[in-house]
Amino acid sequence: MSKTVSKFALAASVSFAMAFTFSCSPPDDGGGNPSSSSGGGGGYTGSYGSITYEGQTYKTVKIGEQTWLAENLNYVAKGSKCYGEVQANCNKYGRLYDWSTAMDLPSNCNKSECSDQIQSNHQGICLSGWHIPSNEDWDKLYRYADGTSDTRRSTAGRYLKATSGWDYNGNGTDEFGFSALPGGSGYADDSGTFYDGGYAGYWWSASETTDETAYLRGIFCCEDDGSDAGWKPNRKSALYSVRCLQD
C-alpha cells in the first residue's frame, strides 16, 4: 500500500514521522544562493562529474566545498527496498534503507546506541572515499544553499529540489545540481506500507541521537512556498534514502 500524506498527518499517524519548523521568508544574502529573492532562473548550469559503484554510474556535483552524489544511492543492500516495492521507483529514486543498513552496522544498532562504532566520515554503504553525511555536513549544505544559518527554518529546499518529478507543482529550481527527488519513506517490516512518494524526500545522517533514533533530513513538496527543508530525529528502523558525500 502506498499513499501520500502531509507531513503533519504523517506525524500523527506513524511513529517515524517528522515535524519540522519552517519559514517562507526570502533567504538572507550570502552563502551560495544566486538570488536573495526569487531563487534564480531554475536549473543547474554547471558541470557534473561521475563515479561508478557496484556497476552503476552516479553523477557527482561540487556544491561549495563539498562534493555530493547528485543522485540517491541505489545500492542493493539486504533489507533495502524500492518505494512501493516497484523496481521503477528504485531506478528513479534510489533504494530506501533503515539506519543500521545505511551505516553498515549490526542490525541491533537500530535499537541500541552504537556511537562507539561510528567513525569520522563514516563510510557505511557508500563507495570508498565517500561517507554517510553527518548532521553537520547537512547543515553546511543547507547554509550554502540559502545563505542562512538557521537550518531548522531553512528555505534551502527550493534551491536543492529537482526541476521536475515533484507532485502538486512542487518542483524546485535546482540551483546547485543536487537534484533532490521525493523518494518517500517506508516501514522496514513486510507491511507493504510506504509514505510520501512524490511529495517528500528524506535522507539519513550518520548522527545518532538516542538508542532508537538518528537525525534525518527532509525536503517537502509544497508547504508554504515549496521551499521547506529541515531536520528531526527519527526512528532508525524506518526506511529512507541515502546521499553519499565525498571525504
pLDDT > 90: what percent of the chain?
69
Residue 217 included in any domain: yes
Q: Is 191:14 a contact under the CB 8 Å cutoff?
A: no
Q: Is the dihedral of CA 83, 85, 88, 94 positive or negative?
A: positive
Give pLDDT tens digits for 62-95. 999 999 999 999 999 999 999 999 999 999 999 9
Residue 18 included in any domain: no
pLDDT score recorded for residue 176: 96
Q: Is 229:219 a contact under the CB 8 Å cutoff?
A: yes
Which portions of the chain are predicted below pLDDT 50? 1-31, 33-41
Residue 57 included in any domain: yes
- Nearest Cα to Cα of residue 72 among 159, 216, 179, 155: 179
Residue ranges with strand state E in 49-146:
49-53, 56-63, 66-69, 130-131
At 39, which amino acid appears?
G
pLDDT score recorded for residue 152: 56
pLDDT score recorded for residue 7: 41
pLDDT score recorded for residue 19: 38
Q: Is 196:228 a contact under the CB 8 Å cutoff?
A: no
pTM comes to: 0.84
Residue 23 included in any domain: no
User: Which range marks the domain in which residue 122 is found?
Assistant: 2-13+53-246
CA-CA distance, 21 to 187, in Å (whole number)? 24
CA-CA distance, 155 to 164, in Å (whole number)? 18
Q: Where are the alpha helices (DSSP H) in the chain?
A: 7-13, 87-93, 99-103, 135-146, 156-160
pLDDT score recorded for residue 147: 79
Cell of 79: 533489507
pLDDT score recorded for residue 32: 52
Q: Is the dihedral of CA 95, 180, 235, 54 positive or negative?
A: positive
CA-CA distance, 28 to 126, in Å (whole number)? 33
Residue 145 included in any domain: yes
pLDDT score recorded for residue 155: 79
pLDDT score recorded for residue 228: 78
Domains of the chain: total: 1
Residue 48 included in any domain: no
Residue 106 included in any domain: yes
Q: Is 174:188 a contact under the CB 8 Å cutoff?
A: no
Residue 43 included in any domain: no
CA-CA distance, 84 to 79, in Å (whole number)? 14
Q: Is 232:46 a contact under the CB 8 Å cutoff?
A: no
